[in-house]
Amino acid sequence: MTNRPQLPPEIARRRTFAIISHPDAGKTTLTEKFLLYGGAIQMAGQVRAKGEARRTRSDFMKMEQDRGISVSASAMSFDFDGHRFNLVDTPGHSDFSEDTYRTLTAVDAAIMVIDGAKGVESQTRKLFEVCRLRDLPILTFCNKMDRESRDTFEIIDEIQENLAIDVAPASWPIGVGREFIGCYDMLGDRLELMDRADRNKVAQSISMKGLDDPRLADHVPADLLAKLREEVEMARELLPTFDQRSFLEGHMTPIWFGSAINSFGVQELMQGISTYGPPPQPQNSAEREISPDENTVTGFVFKVQANMDPKHRDRVAFVRLASGHFERGMKMVHVRTKKPMAVSNPVLFLAADRELAEEAWAGDIIGIPNHGQLRIGDALTEGETLRFTGIPSFAPELLQTVRATDPMKAKHLEKALMQFAEEGAAKVFKPAIGSGFIVGVVGALQFEVLASRIELEYGIPVRFEGSQFTSARWVSGAKSVVDAFAETNKAHLAHDHDGDLVYLTRLQWDIDRIGRDHPDLRLTATKEMM
């Protein structure tokens, strides 16, 4: 990853990123402060308040609340410091979630939020590994410094050791817990003082001439100042200094210390994103690399959300623009079906409200309402045939049968299931013999989420039950080979929502045997998203 100074200014000023964290580390609070400083909301508390209002409207949301799953818009855009920030929300399910992983294919960088008392937690580690697969640059925010937290060196060491990444302090905390008064900005040589009395007040920021500046003593008690000087000296000896190139290549993370709830350290973090980037990066397709500054517009769907508005059965496909300058009403080509598609009502997500997007640039995320044509992984271009790569599909690891409690509703259930399958929320298999459906997910919580959504959004109470199968494999190969195989294995076969053939079993032994008996047949645990 490199900064590309030749990018047109409108593209170069874009910053598209996600926040990764373990539940409770402060992602929502930080998001809210971003929106506040980005001018997208007027008052702290609105994101949460909006969340609460929505939650009371539906039990699904209530369930999210009970389980500590965060609810917010999927993509939010705001301006800061001359930059356009696009913050893409990663759903915070404590379970493994495919959605989260796909979201990370649409961003150029991630902010890792950790709790200063807890350090690197399990969910953070998982998400970090996904970022690393794509060499995403990561900025770290160590939150809750207003509370008792771990020793600064210990936190940094833990990140370095646990995640095998160089950590360069961008700021250094002064005092801990109740004694925490602020940070020394190591990149900008400034003293940042937290205001404990007013949570929404921006820190006082005083320019310094290095750590020997006598004015430091005017603001920092002598014992804390001595400790600060000693620690920073040690840090400069022992820890790497910030190197933008290494950061952009994903080998180094700058770390800021702060307290989101006290609005402390947040602006410095935002300035870090503005200053160090990265701007929109090239995207990979099977055919070629797509550069953001190309003249024609291209983009790919990384998320589909159905039933955002219960009154309308619409779906919104979230598209990451990979290149060009998009204007409302443009005629695009939907590559998978080769059909033209006039994008007349795209939406940008400014804070929690939708707004018509008159224009958008490479790096932006737009929402395209549609009736199901757009699926995860689909490409939109001005005519070129492109297939974006790198959008993962996951092997379903847990299988269950699902039935409507009321057998008369079976047909409706099929429709609901197909919709969730298209959304990428689950894999749905219709067995070749018999009735009912088998649903495959990667985390057990997804069954509960599905059951609750099917009931709420379609009014169909359902029951999930253990299935006789535990593994699913997509079958491919020459037609004659597949037909011959299908003829003798009917009891194990099903079709997914695209009509593709799937082999179901509970024995690895079966899969191995097929490999030996049918060398020309391919069994795969995942299916390409296209």
Measured from the CB atom, the residue of 94 and 244 that comes closer to ligand G4P is: 94
Q: Which of residues 60-79 bind ligand G4P (CB under 6 A)?
A: 70
Q: Do 422 and 530 touch, CB atoms closer than 8 A?
A: no
- Least separation in angstroms between CB 358 and ligand G4P: 32
- Least separation in angstroms between CB 34 and ligand G4P: 12
- Least separation in angstroms between CB 178 and ligand G4P: 11
300 beta partners: 320, 379
The residue within the footprint of ligand G4P, chosen from 259, 281, 307, 370 (CB under 6 A), is 259
Measured from the CB atom, the residue of 74 and 262 that comes closer to ligand G4P is: 262
Considering only CA atoms, which of 394, 361, 362, 358 is closest in space to residue 376? 394
Q: Is 23 annotated as a binding residue?
A: yes
- Least separation in angstroms between CB 25 and ligand G4P: 5
- Least separation in angstroms between CB 312 and ligand G4P: 29
Grouping H, G, I as helix, E, B as strand and the rest as coil, residue 446 is helix
Q: Which residue has the tokens 């007349």?
A: 344
- Least separation in angstroms between CB 263 and ligand G4P: 9
Note whether 267 binds ligand G4P by CB under 6 A. Answer: no
The residue within the footprint of ligand G4P, chosen from 29, 271, 370, 446 (CB under 6 A), is 29
Question: Can you spell out the DSSP letters for 359-402?
Answer: EEETT-EEEEEESS---TT-EEESS----B---------EEEEE
- Least separation in angstroms between CB 23 and ligand G4P: 5
Measured from the CB atom, the residue of 1 and 69 that comes closer to ligand G4P is: 69
Measured from the CB atom, the residue of 78 and 180 that comes closer to ligand G4P is: 180
CA 71, CA 54: separation in Å to the nearest integer? Answer: 9
CA 79, CA 246: separation in Å to the nearest integer? Answer: 26
Q: Is 22 annotated as a binding residue?
A: yes
First to last CA, the chain: 26
Note whether 291 binds ligand G4P by CB under 6 A. Answer: no
Kindly state the tokens that stand for 104: 């990370």
Q: Do 19 and 85 touch, CB atoms closer than 8 A?
A: no
- Residue 274, Cβ density class (10 Å: 0-12 exposed, 13-18 middle, ≥19 buried): middle
Note whether 123 binds ligand G4P by CB under 6 A. Answer: no
Q: Quote the Cα angle for 403-409-413, to 5°.
A: 60
Buried b (16+ CB within 10 A) or exposed e, 133-151: ebebbbbbbbbbbbeebbe
Binding range to ligand G4P, per CB under 6 A, among 26-34, 234-242, 291-299, 398-406? 26-34
Considering only CA atoms, which of 255, 288, 262, 269 is closest in space to residue 200? 262
Measured from the CB atom, the residue of 352 and 418 that comes closer to ligand G4P is: 352
Q: Which of residues 377-436 bind ligand G4P (CB under 6 A)?
A: none
- Least separation in angstroms between CB 113 and ligand G4P: 7
Measured from the CB atom, the residue of 71 and 504 that comes closer to ligand G4P is: 71
Measured from the CB atom, the residue of 180 and 474 that comes closer to ligand G4P is: 180
- Least separation in angstroms between CB 352 and ligand G4P: 15
Q: Which of residues 133-172 bind ligand G4P (CB under 6 A)?
A: 143-144, 146-147
Determine the size of the site formed for ligand G4P (CB under 6 A). 17
The residue within the footprint of ligand G4P, chosen from 14, 17, 21, 41 (CB under 6 A), is 21
Q: Is 219 annotated as a binding residue?
A: no
Q: Is 25 annotated as a binding residue?
A: yes
**CB within 8 Å of 276: residues ≥ 6 apart:** 137, 139, 244, 247, 248, 254
Q: Do 141 and 149 touch, CB atoms closer than 8 A?
A: no
Measured from the CB atom, the residue of 4 and 67 that comes closer to ligand G4P is: 67
Alpha carbon 11 to chain centroid distance?
21
The residue within the footprint of ligand G4P, chosen from 1, 25, 494, 504 (CB under 6 A), is 25
Q: Which residue has the tokens 């080998």?
A: 251
Q: Is 83 annotated as a binding residue?
A: no
Note whether 23 binds ligand G4P by CB under 6 A. Answer: yes
The residue within the footprint of ligand G4P, chosen from 109, 112, 114, 260 (CB under 6 A), is 260
Buried b (16+ CB within 10 A) or exposed e, 26-63: bbbbbbbbbbbbbebbeebebbbebbeebbeeeebbeb
Binding range to ligand G4P, per CB under 6 A, among 27-35, 158-166, 219-227, 384-392? 27-35
Measured from the CB atom, the residue of 124 and 393 that comes closer to ligand G4P is: 124
User: If residue 423 lies in a helix (H) or strand (E), which one and from where to where?
Assistant: helix 410-423
CA 98, CA 441: separation in Å to the nearest integer? Answer: 9
The residue within the footprint of ligand G4P, chosen from 15, 27, 320, 497 (CB under 6 A), is 27
Binding range to ligand G4P, per CB under 6 A, among 25-33, 121-129, 233-241, 323-331? 25-33
25, 290, 418 from 297: Cα distances, Å: 37, 10, 30
Residue 329 CB coordination number (10 Å): 11
Q: Is 331 annotated as a binding residue?
A: no
Measured from the CB atom, the residue of 143 and 285 that comes closer to ligand G4P is: 143
The residue within the footprint of ligand G4P, chosen from 187, 220, 261, 501 (CB under 6 A), is 261
Binding range to ligand G4P, per CB under 6 A, among 96-104, 257-265, 313-321, 431-439? 257-265
Which residues sit at the interface with ligand G4P, rule CB under 6 A? 21, 23-29, 70, 143-144, 146-147, 259-262
Binding residues for GTP: 21-28, 89-93, 143-146
